[in-house]
Amino acid sequence: MKLAGFVFGAALGAGVAVLLAPKTGKEMRNQLFTGTDWNDQRERLTGAVSAGKEQAMGRSDDLKRKIEETRARLRKQMEDEPQQS
């Protein structure tokens, strides 16, 4: 789960870095007035966030499965052990 959070944070940080990277005055004016760069960057950032979210969901499903397997194993062990009075 920590790895998924790290990957998500790294992807988000990379997207923000791309958005805030220094540009020349002419490039910045073009970006502000035409908006085409914003759309490209927004699409890249959205893709990175989606990929991170999908990976986190996959990790979450794996964790839930492992928890259920552990519960079942512990229940079986408790049932197999003789009762102590």
Could you state, in order of their start, the residue ranges of all structural domains in the chain? 1-36
Report the alpha-carbon distance of residue 9 to residue 53 in Å, rounded: 10
Report the alpha-carbon distance of residue 4 to residue 35 in Å, rounded: 32
Q: What DSSP assignment string belongs to 10-57?
A: HHHHHHHHHHH----HHHHHHHHHH-HHHHHHHHHHHHHHHHHHHHHH
Confidence bin at 69 (pLDDT 50/70/90): very high
Q: pTM for the full model? A: 0.38
pLDDT in tens, 44-67: 888 888 888 888 888 888 889 999
pLDDT in tens, 30-40: 766 676 566 77
